[in-house]
């Protein structure tokens, strides 16, 4: 699973507030491709699948694609 430090959660919250997007979550995803076989992505997302894993750190939601 993923962990977000308190300092990182504060920064993510600041970024969301600066974009007026506090209803979004930080999505962490792994995609096939790249030299090592996978590439990693982080982006703000408001659409969630039923099988997404959602974890809350303070006021920040982190969404991870299922394994």
pLDDT values of the chain reduced to their tens digit, one per residue, 67 residues: 789 999 999 999 999 999 999 999 999 998 887 677 888 899 999 999 999 999 999 999 999 988 6
pLDDT score, position 34: 66
CATH superfamily of the domain spanning 6-64:
HesB-like domain (2.60.300.12)
* Cα 3 to Cα 6: distance, rounded to the nearest angstrom: 10
The residue extents of the domains of the chain are 6-64
Contacts of 20 (CB under 8 A, 6+ apart): none
């Amino acid at each position: 699973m993923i962990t977000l430090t308190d300092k990182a959660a504060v920064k993510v919250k600041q970024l969301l507030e600066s974009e007026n997007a506090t209803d979004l979550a930080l999505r962490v995803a792994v995609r096939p491709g790249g030299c090592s076989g996978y590439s990693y992505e982080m982006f703000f997302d408001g659409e969630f699948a039923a099988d997404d894993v959602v974890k809350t750190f303070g006021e920040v939601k982190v969404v991870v694609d299922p394994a």
